[in-house]
Chains A and B, each alone.
Chain A
């Protein structure tokens, strides 16, 4: 019983987000080095077709699907919304992640008889957004406080963060020997826009009062931090596309980070690998506007006739004071305090088993050095998020179909879906490499009913070792 509940609690905190479970370990595709800088390299050099080498988009909602809420049926929208609010928990979230590689490339270095080092580099733009479901705020808006006496409305239910940034990166990969490869990648972040509100505390509660029917207790500690946003939203903003380009090219709020990873062959067929990505920060010191509310106030109504004042205050003054108190309570102070954000760290790890060598047609002997045709394995993915890390477990089957064409099918368990099947292919047409991958295939009958989708595709020009 305990084991079951442990398993259940593990599963409920599992989730997707910017998991690229199909791309991870897919070493025919150069962009897999961004998932593990210590992954295997199978080409001598490559360059990505500018703006087309890696297009990634994923979105998810852990509690409900678009179809749950917006299905064209006879149900009243407000009833559906009420149901959704009841069903969703404060730890349910909505995520959005998008990446666009602007350019990328890589080449092997070292003596010509043993080019065992590989340098890769590039620039990509990323958008990342997560918002937790502000359940108490939704309940307060839908029901009010009258039927929720003694229920605290928690302010920490408001929790979201979002950023748009560009990432310059340079990676180094070294095949130390037949069995061990490692890699590191340095990153410079240039933040274009950042918003976050993740450390809110306090509550609003209506309890039975002493001097009056109720006691309304406001204990609010709220902070919203923004950088790069004020220049866009302010009156007479002169923000233009030029500024986006400037901020992309290191003109934004800057930060530093790194990725590390390795691959290790346990035996000829068994391999382990792991990577840690985006260990880094962004320092926000330009174009900052923060909003803060930090107040404690207990309201029991007003006492105009016999105000408890000692300094001969009139009732009018007294009322003004109450009015001021309320104004203070909800009016946010704005500041320009610099701040630092940490990038969401990701951890990947996998255990792989390769099998099935290619045979010659006319004899039963194996082809020399052609490698294994199949692989199966388990992958673990974790990303650090404001409230708690999100985890996904993937089982996969990889197969080389023809020369230059390989495919990978994945099955992923995440928060609310146990049937996330993904599929990806990498194809070579001469030196041109094309890849496309997506998950949640079983839900494609009605894409709105899926709680998450992830899609990656891209084109590269690759000079392969194998074809040498």
Chain B
């Protein structure tokens, strides 16, 4: 009889232990606080042009311009999550001619929203002259970037230096990258 009682008691105790394990307080709502802040680096525009590219059939081509439709900055994801951007441009010029590189940002109505330019001096010795430029987009300028969907790139040979012809030595090159600071709030 006692054995039977003990037997049932043991089963009851073990069952109690199984069903009454303890917990300390946890809060799964914390997951809503999740904020991702990745910094994304990406190449942007580049070119490398020997001096002869600025000479078409013996006529000096002092301005080269083209536009690129970039429907990236105005996308919802970027508009909502991009908090800062830096565009880093580097020009290397070994042509004996000064150049100006201008970058214009236009919105869908072709209205100019933002513009900056980089000038490089002529290189009489054909050695590389390096110019770095960092354009920071924050607050108002960031809003301008986000409303842009077209970038116009203009390379202009300035008056200082020699005329460009088939025999002109050297080249001009441009490298650029964007550093994008994102802040992605998951709960939104």
By a CB distance below 8 angstroms, the chain B residues around A447 are: 21-23
Q: Given contacts A305-B47, A402-B3, A405-B7, is CB(A212)–CB(B175) below 8 Å?
A: yes
Q: Decide yes or no whether A94 CB sits under 8 A from chain B.
A: no
Q: What residue in chain B is nearest A441 (Cβ atoms)?
A: B17
Interface segment, one of A109-117, A140-148, A371-379:
A140-148
By a CB distance below 8 angstroms, the chain B residues around A263 are: none
**23 sampled A-B residue pairs with Cβ under 8 A:** A69-B30, A71-B25, A72-B24, A72-B25, A140-B38, A141-B38, A145-B41, A146-B40, A149-B41, A214-B177, A216-B42, A299-B43, A301-B44, A304-B153, A305-B65, A305-B153, A306-B49, A319-B68, A405-B10, A425-B14, A446-B22, A448-B24, A448-B26
Q: What residue in chain B is nearest A314 (Cβ atoms)?
A: B66
Expressed in whole angstroms, the minimum distance between the Cβ of A449 and any Cβ of chain B is 7
By a CB distance below 8 angstroms, the chain A residues around B69 are: 316, 319
Considering the chains assembled together, what is the distance between the CA atoms of A78 and B33 in angstroms?
7
Q: Is the CB of B30 within 8 A of A300?
A: no
Q: Decide yes or no whether B55 CB sits under 8 A from chain A.
A: no
Q: Decide yes or no whether A29 CB sits under 8 A from chain B.
A: no
Point out the residue from A76, A140, A206, A316 that lies within 8 Å of B33, measured CB to CB: A76
Q: Decide yes or no whether A339 CB sits under 8 A from chain B.
A: no
Considering the chains assembled together, what is the distance between the CA atoms of A8 and B129 in angstroms?
57
Q: Is the CB of B35 within 8 A of A78?
A: yes
* Residues 441 to 468 of chain A near chain B (Cβ within 8 Å): 441, 444-449, 455, 457
Q: Decide yes or no whether A77 CB sits under 8 A from chain B.
A: yes
- Can you add 14 more A-B contacts, CB < 8 Å, to A146-B40, A302-B45, A305-B64? A69-B30, A72-B27, A145-B39, A146-B38, A146-B41, A147-B39, A212-B43, A212-B46, A213-B177, A300-B43, A303-B46, A404-B7, A444-B22, A446-B24
Q: Decide yes or no whether B79 CB sits under 8 A from chain A.
A: no
Which residues of A pack against B, CB within 8 Å?
66-67, 69-72, 76-78, 81, 140-147, 149, 206, 209, 211-216, 299-306, 315-316, 319, 401-402, 404-405, 423, 425, 427, 434, 436, 438, 441, 444-449, 455, 457
Q: Given contacts A212-B46, A302-B44, A306-B48, is CB(A77)–CB(B24) below 8 Å?
A: no
Q: Is the CB of A427 within 8 A of B11?
A: yes
By a CB distance below 8 angstroms, the chain A residues around B74 are: none
Point out the residue from B25, B68, B88 that lies within 8 Å of A304, measured CB to CB: B68
By a CB distance below 8 angstroms, the chain B residues around A305 are: 47, 49, 64-66, 153, 155
By a CB distance below 8 angstroms, the chain A residues around B140 are: none
By a CB distance below 8 angstroms, the chain B residues around A145 are: 38-41
The 8 closest A-B pairs by CB, nearest first: A144-B38, A301-B43, A146-B41, A146-B39, A444-B21, A212-B46, A77-B30, A144-B39
Considering the chains assembled together, what is the distance between the CA atoms of A293 and B177 in angstroms?
27
Q: Is the CB of A300 within 8 A of B46?
A: yes
By a CB distance below 8 angstroms, the chain A residues around B47 are: 303-306
Q: Is the CB of A425 within 8 A of B11?
A: yes
Q: What residue in chain A is nearest B46 (Cβ atoms)?
A: A212
